[in-house]
Structure 1
Amino acid sequence: MSDREASMDVIQRELTSFARRARQKAAQLHPELSLVAHSMLDHMDKNGSCHAADLAGHFMLDKSTVSRQITMLEAEGMIVRETDPDDHRRQIVKPSEKGLDLLKGANRQRRASFEERFTDWDDTDVAQLAAYLRSYNAADVD
């Protein structure tokens, strides 16, 4: 096995471990806000209101999956639906005040968790990891 192949195996294992740990940590830090709900609320907060199709495209999910998530978020009072002012046949979704409050609380807790985890890392290493993750994730952006 070449060094590159061995590195690819390590990357695959470590990213899988990271994803599992992130999901578990999210449930521990803020049980009211799942990782999926957090991701969707965060996207809506950063980008303003959006259509369900926008969420499906951004997260590379089936529209029916997003529809179920939106219905759940709405039932829990985390989002509101409104008529799209540009096309009255469509609806837009955006975080409610409750959703924004939960999102802000979860973000504070997650930031504190990351700060704790990176206590022994110097600023250069943290910046390098951020750059690598940004570069890795940029490959999925249209």
Structure 2
Amino acid sequence: MHDEARVLGELTVFSRRVRADAREVHPDLTYVDFTLLRIVQDNPGVLAGDLAEVARIDKSTASRQLTALVRRGLVQRTGAGGREGKPLELTTEGRQVTARAQQAQQALVADRLAEWSAQDVATFADLLARYNEGEVRSA
């Protein structure tokens, strides 16, 4: 097996595990929901139109998920909106849900890495960051 195929296989397992962990943390919220909550948390006032780009998901998916998060009372539209839409922020409940989810997800990761050396954890984090920052080159 080529190393690229092995990496792809491991990324697939990793992705499935992250999604399963998200369901374990809060069964009513999807991985995309958590992603959008984190983006709004980290970027108060972000516009709805920018969510899809930041999350790297389809605009219709972002819109549908955002509508559900607003309906659940986790995100609210604030201020006056222009052509780009109204700025978004987490509600009090949204901040609480996001904080609990982050704590639970970090605990799951910490549990999986518990027997790794500090150097291995740092190397893993560095390699993931390098992978995520990389640009796809045209073939």
TM-score, normalized by length of structure 1? 0.87
Structure 1 segment 69-84 matched on structure 2, within 5 A: 69-84=65-80
When structure 1 is superposed on structure 2, of 11-20 and 55-64 the one drifting more is 55-64
How many angstroms apart in 1 are the aligned matches of 2:101 and 2:42?
15
Shift of 1:88: 4.1
In structure 2, C-alpha distance between the alignment counterparts of 1:22 and 1:131, rounded to whole Å = 19
- The amino acid of 1:103's aligned partner reads T
User: Secondary structure at 1:15's aligned position in 2?
Assistant: helix
CA distance in 1, matches of 2:72, 2:117: 40
Distance 2:113 2:99 in 1: 21
Is 1:95 aligned with 2:93?
no
| Structure 2 match to 1:57 | 53
Cα deviation per residue 1:102-140 (whole Å; 9 max; x = unaligned)? Answer: 010011111111111111101111011111111111125
- Residue 116 (1) aligns with residue 138 (2): no
Contact 1:51 1:92 in 2 (8 A): yes
Deviates more, 1:8-17 or 1:47-56: 47-56
Offset, 1:12: 0.5
Q: Alpha-carbon deviation of 1:63?
A: 1.8
Q: 2:21 aligns with which of 9, 22, 25?
A: 25
- The runs of 5 or more residues in structure 2 that have no matched partner are none
TM norm structure 2: 0.89
Q: Which moved more, 1:38-47 or 1:10-19?
A: 38-47
Choose which of 34, 40, 58 in structure 2 pairs with 1:38: 34
Output the CA distance in 2 between the equivalents of 1:88 and 1:52: 11
The alignment partner of 2:76 has SS state of strand
Partner of 1:15: 11
Q: Distance in 2 between matches of 1:53 and 1:135?
A: 27
Asked if structure 1 preserves the Cα contact closer than 8 Å seen for 2:39 and 2:55, the reply is no
Q: Secondary structure at the match of 2:77?
A: strand
Residue identity matched to 1:17: V
Amino acid at match of 2:19: R
Moved over 6 A (4+): none
CA RMSD in angstroms comes to 1.6
**SS at the partner of 1:121?**
coil
